[in-house]
Chain A
Amino acid sequence: AQSVAQPEDQVNVAEGNPLTVKCTYSVSGNPYLFWYVQYPNRGLQFLLKYITGDNLVKGSYGFEAEFNKSQTSFHLKKPSALVSDSALYFCAVRGSSGNTGKLIFGQGTTLQVKP
């Protein structure tokens, strides 16, 4: 069965410091991995995805993520956090078997960036 784990409910960082939001996954076949961000009372906004190729993918708002196949991880990173990055972040996986394309989400990690 496909699953995603986000081991931290909340991550606190100071503005200007680097941030990491962790994600590990379990999927049969090759994984398609995604990060989404959710602001209060809003839908999810796509940040970035890993499909194949370079293990470091770059996305919106200066975010990037590193795919590590041996550790089955896809951690979200940003070199310098902004207060406006404070939000709820979701990692999601879509397995290559089957064809519905449904996403399996982690439970989410709240990122709090303090001035």
Chain B
Amino acid sequence: DTGVSQDPRHKITKRGQNVTFRCDPISEHNRLYWYRQTLGQGPEFLTYFQNEAQLEKSRLLSDRFSAERPKGSFSTLEIQRTEQGDSAMYLCASSSQGHLNTEAFFGQGTRLTVV
């Protein structure tokens, strides 16, 4: 499978615990995005990497959230001291270098439930 891969698919955690999600983009894609989607809403942009550089972070990304892409390949999204409001689907997407007309390809997402 050469699509965007996310792990785990589901995560249930207790409030206050830390969680980490992983995204493996399509191999030749150098642009990587994280989005958050809550029920009944469209995906909301969280952060963007070009290669290993994190070039944009949304105001939605509080200081409890951190993302990395250390070698410009896979990326991780960590949430510290989880809160119930963090429960959502976390989507990763990647796209190729090029003009802004290239479409993004999405993974199947990680569904986080904070209890």
A residues with a Cβ closer than 8 A to B are 4, 32, 34, 36, 41-46, 49, 51, 90, 92, 94, 96, 99-108
Q: Determine whether the beta carbon of B43 is less than 8 Å from that of A99.
A: no
Kindly supply a per-residue 1/0 record for chain B positions 1-23, scoring 1 wherever the CB is within 8 Å of any chain A CB and 0 otherwise.
00010100000000000000000
Beyond known contacts A99-B100, A104-B45: 4 more, CB 8 A cutoff: A43-B6, A43-B108, A101-B100, A101-B102
Q: Determine whether the beta carbon of A107 is less than 8 Å from that of B42.
A: yes
What is the chain A residue whose CB lies nearest that of B33?
Answer: A102
Task: Give chain A residues whose Cβ lies under 8 Å from the Cβ of B4.
Answer: 43
CA distance A59 to B104 in the complex (A): 15
CA distance A49 to B103 in the complex (A): 8
Q: Determine whether the beta carbon of B41 is less than 8 Å from that of A34.
A: no
Q: Determine whether the beta carbon of B101 is less than 8 Å from that of A49.
A: yes
Q: Determine whether the beta carbon of B100 is less than 8 Å from that of A96.
A: yes
CA distance A100 to B104 in the complex (A): 12
- Whether, in the assembled complex, B65 has its beta carbon less than 8 Å from a beta carbon of chain A, the answer is no
What is the chain A residue whose CB lies nearest that of B104?
Answer: A103
Task: Give chain B residues whose Cβ lies under 8 Å from the Cβ of A32.
Answer: 100-101
Q: Determine whether the beta carbon of B42 is less than 8 Å from that of A34.
A: no
CA distance A106 to B103 in the complex (A): 16
- Whether, in the assembled complex, B40 has its beta carbon less than 8 Å from a beta carbon of chain A, the answer is yes
Q: Determine whether the beta carbon of B105 is less than 8 Å from that of A94.
A: no
Q: Which of B6, B42, B105 has the most CB of A within 10 A?
A: B42
- Whether, in the assembled complex, B107 has its beta carbon less than 8 Å from a beta carbon of chain A, the answer is yes
Task: Give chain A residues whose Cβ lies under 8 Å from the Cβ of B105.
Answer: 46
CA distance A37 to B83 in the complex (A): 29
CA distance A107 to B6 in the complex (A): 23
**Minimum Cβ distance to chain A for residue B96 (Å):** 10
Kindly supply a per-residue 1/0 record for chain B positions 80-115, scoring 1 wherever the CB is within 8 Å of any chain A CB and 0 otherwise.
000000000001010100001111111111010000
